[in-house]
């Protein structure tokens, strides 16, 4: 259920990073543990079991970073926070949807889908207080330093995490890599033009490995692949306008 992406960084997921598990969950194993995202609700025991299998206790988890407010990333947040007492870290623009001040917007143009009972169950999450809002450029003292990169578009407060020392980026849903590199789904993306600008911002950074909210990590030629994808998007975008 978990794979080692690079030294001290684990990805917990199903094969495609989709389905009932929800988005990928990452474990950063430094002096203390940090989780990145939490999957769909109902997976708390599974996550803690996996943490245990790797030789850690729930109380070793000091931080939970949330890349954005969607239910497939915050589903187990409240339960994990309760079990671990970890500090919840996210961007202030998504915080109101996580702490319950605002109801999470459902998929645009697909109202029937947000009313479908099984989906509504998954989409409903228990609010959790955000302890530490982080903004673009902030540095977190985790695994030799994580830089927060604000990449709005999919949601207003979407962030990427740039682990400079590991030359690795965790993108959340800025991009997915289920079967190939792709944009996040349109109905779930708040502002596609802004999203495309954020992908260009990602391409301007320096890295060797990219980990996604959905799908497998890109470990081979990751930077040129992302640059190429961003350039093709830019070209398409210019043709349209
Ligand atoms: Zn997702
Ligand atoms: Zn999402």
- Please name which ligand lies nearest the alpha carbon of 187: 2
Confidence of residue 15 (pLDDT cuts 50, 70, 90): very low
Q: 141 CA distance to ligand 2 centroid (A)? A: 26
Which range among 36-40, 49-53, 113-117, 149-153 shows the weakest confidence by mean pLDDT? Answer: 113-117
Q: 70 CA distance to ligand 1 centroid (A)? A: 6
Q: 40 CA distance to ligand 1 centroid (A)? A: 9
Q: 55 CA distance to ligand 2 centroid (A)? A: 30
Q: 176 CA distance to ligand 1 centroid (A)? A: 8
In the chain, what percentage of residues exceed pLDDT 70?
88
Q: 150 CA distance to ligand 1 centroid (A)? A: 17
Q: 154 CA distance to ligand 2 centroid (A)? A: 7
Q: Report the pLDDT averaged over residues 196-224.
A: 96
Beta-bridge partners for 149: 160
Q: 53 CA distance to ligand 2 centroid (A)? A: 28
Confidence of residue 109 (pLDDT cuts 50, 70, 90): low
Q: Is the pLDDT of residue 66 over 90?
A: yes
Beta-bridge partners for 210: 169, 218
Confidence of residue 69 (pLDDT cuts 50, 70, 90): very high
Q: Report the pLDDT averaged over residues 46-55.
A: 94
Q: Is the pLDDT of residue 16 over 50?
A: no
Confidence of residue 235 (pLDDT cuts 50, 70, 90): confident
pLDDT of residue 210: 98
Q: Is the pLDDT of residue 214 over 90?
A: yes
Q: 68 CA distance to ligand 2 centroid (A)? A: 7
- Please name which ligand lies nearest the alpha carbon of 213: 1
Model pLDDT for residues 117-172, shown as the tens digit of each residue: 666 677 788 999 999 999 999 999 999 999 999 999 999 999 999 999 999 999 99
Q: 94 CA distance to ligand 2 centroid (A)? A: 11
Q: Is the pLDDT of residue 21 over 70?
A: no
Q: Report the pLDDT averaged over residues 37-47.
A: 92
* Domains defined for the chain, CATH in brackets: 2-240 (3.60.15.10)
Q: Is the pLDDT of residue 212 over 70?
A: yes
Q: What's the mean pLDDT when you consider all of the chain?
A: 90
């Amino acid at each position: 259920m978990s794979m080692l992406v690079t030294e001290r960084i684990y990805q917990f997921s199903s094969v495609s990073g989709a389905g009932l598990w929800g988005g990928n969950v990452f474990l950063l194993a430094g002096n203390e543990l940090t989780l990145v995202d939490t999957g769909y609700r109902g997976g708390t025991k599974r996550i803690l079991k996996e943490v245990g299998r790797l030789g850690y206790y729930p109380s070793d988890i000091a931080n939970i970073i949330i890349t954005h407010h969607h239910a497939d990333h915050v589903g187990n947040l409240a339960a994990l926070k309760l079990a671990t007492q970890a500090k919840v870290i996210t961007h202030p623009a998504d915080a109101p949807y996580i702490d319950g001040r605002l109801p999470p917007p459902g998929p645009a143009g697909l109202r029937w889908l947000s009313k479908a009972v099984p989906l509504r169950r998954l989409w409903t999450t228990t609010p959790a207080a955000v302890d530490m809002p982080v903004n673009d450029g902030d540095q977190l003292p985790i695994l030799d330093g994580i830089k927060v990169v604000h990449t709005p578009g999919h949601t207003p407060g979407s962030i990427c995490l740039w682990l400079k020392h590991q030359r690795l980026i965790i993108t959340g849903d800025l991009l997915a890599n289920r079967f190939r590199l792709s944009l996040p789904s349109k109905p779930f993306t708040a502002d596609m033009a802004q999203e495309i600008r954020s992908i260009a911002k990602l391409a301007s950074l320096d890295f060797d490995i990219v980990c996604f909210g959905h799908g497998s990590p890109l470990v081979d030629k990751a930077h040129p692949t992302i640059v190429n994808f961003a350039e093709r998007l830019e070209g398409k975008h210019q043709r349209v306008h």
